[in-house]
Structures are given as C-alpha cells and as structure tokens.
C-alpha cells in the first residue's frame, strides 16, 4: 500500500485539485494532503510568501476559499521544507498540486511528481504540430509561461482567466479568443483548472480537446501505483 501526499502551494486539503488524479489511483492508496501555507493566517501567508513586483507569481487558495497571489521563489523554498516533513511522516509519493517550475526540489526516498514536467512533456510530444492556446490565471504569469512553453511550442499564445472566479465567463472568453485565432487544442495551465472548467466549456459548445493538468498527471501516475 502506497502513502501518497498531495502538496499544494496554498492551504490543504484541495480536493478540487486532486480529484482528477485520485480517479486514476488504486483503491488501496492511502491519501494525505498538505500545504505550504497550512496553519498561517492570510497576513502571515502574505508576509512570508506574498507576491513581489517584478518576480514570478503564482495563484492559490486559502482554507476559507479566498485566493492569494504568491512569490514563486518563496514558495519553492517552502515546498522543500514541506516535502521533508511529509517524507518524515511516511509519504511514499509526493504529488505537487501546481504547474509552476521549482528547480532543485528533491526527496530522500519518496517519488516526487512535478506536474510542470509531465504536462510540458505531454504537450511537446503528443501534441507536436498542434496549435495550442494556453490559458493562465494571471497576466503577471504570461512572461514566465512564455519562456516555459516556447521550448516545446512555436510562438505560444496566452489568454487570462482565473480558475477561482465566481463564474466561468472569463474562461469562456479566453478560450474563444484562442479558437478565433486558429487554436485546435486548449491547455488550461494551472492545477486550479479541473473537470468543472472543462465541463463548462463543453456545455458552452467548445469541441476542441481541452487539457487540464490534473487529468494529464492522473493518467501518467495511475499505472505507476497500480
């Protein structure tokens, strides 16, 4: 029996992020949740990990459901500390619930699953030759996202829509802009986008493939633990 810990950059648990992955896991897997911001008030979280102008930015949620913007570098350091802790608590597999890039993260014995590497690899191989339209949560993330994706996709294009909005109007608008520009695949580039967002776009009449990170990670991870 495996012990698998889902590790969010915000506050745990985040079943909205993990459900697409859990659908692929064996029933015997023991599931735990942890977060970089666990136990912190909003003020404490923003003081320690809050977004800094001119630096890479990430978006996540607190336990009360409110969103919080974070500094990617500070989060990376916090992630390593939490990885060490969940390993000490018995995790055999640690799955990051974020598509950000965090160079240098390590485990001592547990498998570390980083969605960023899985998703970019999938797009760069399975979708080679496709016209992919990328949706990211924040305008401040576009520069970093372009650097990441231009290594696997020629001239990547981006639109903006938060996965934590009260409704999916902005997401639908962001998706339609890509389709109008000729995209034949949509990549919702944040773990915050899940089955609900994909379903919403389908109900609005979109028929192109719509990829969410959780679905890609789940499909890759399931066979490893079965």
Range of the domain at 220: 3-114+216-225
- Look at the chain and report how many structural domains it folds into: 2
Tokens of 14: 């985040």
- Is the domain of 78 the same as that of 135? no
HSE at residue 190, side-chain half, CA atoms within 13 A, is 24
* Residues 141-189 pLDDT 10s: 999 999 999 999 988 999 999 999 999 999 999 999 999 999 999 999 9
- Is the domain of 122 the same as that of 199? yes
3-state secondary structure of 126: helix
- Is the domain of 64 the same as that of 176? no
What is the distance between the alpha carbons of residues 99 and 87, in angstroms, rounded to a whole number? 21
- Is the domain of 146 the same as that of 221? no
- Is the domain of 135 the same as that of 108? no
pTM as predicted = 0.91
């Amino acid at each position: 029996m495996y012990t698998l810990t889902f590790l969010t950059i915000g506050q745990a648990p985040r079943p909205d992020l993990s459900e697409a992955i859990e659908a692929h896991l064996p029933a015997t897997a023991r599931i735990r949740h942890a977060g970089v911001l666990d136990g912190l008030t909003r003020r404490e979280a923003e003081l320690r990990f809050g977004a800094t102008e001119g630096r890479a930015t990430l978006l996540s949620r607190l336990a009360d459901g409110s969103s919080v913007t974070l500094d990617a570098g500070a989060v990376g350091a916090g992630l390593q500390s939490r990885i060490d802790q969940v390993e000490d608590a018995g995790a055999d597999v640690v799955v990051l619930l974020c598509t950000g890039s965090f160079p240098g993260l390590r485990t001592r014995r547990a498998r570390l699953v980083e969605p960023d590497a899985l998703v970019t690899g999938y797009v760069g191989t399975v979708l080679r030759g496709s016209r992919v339209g990328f949706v990211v949560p924040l305008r401040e993330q576009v520069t970093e996202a372009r650097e990441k994706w231009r290594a696997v996709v020629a001239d990547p294009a981006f639109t903006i829509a938060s996965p934590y909005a009260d409704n999916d109007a902005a997401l639908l608008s962001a998706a339609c802009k890509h389709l109008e520009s000729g995209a034949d695949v949509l990549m919702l580039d944040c773990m915050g986008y899940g089955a609900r967002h994909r379903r919403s776009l389908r109900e609005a009449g979109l028929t192109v493939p719509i990829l969410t990170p959780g679905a890609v990670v789940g499909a890759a991870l399931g066979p490893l633990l079965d």
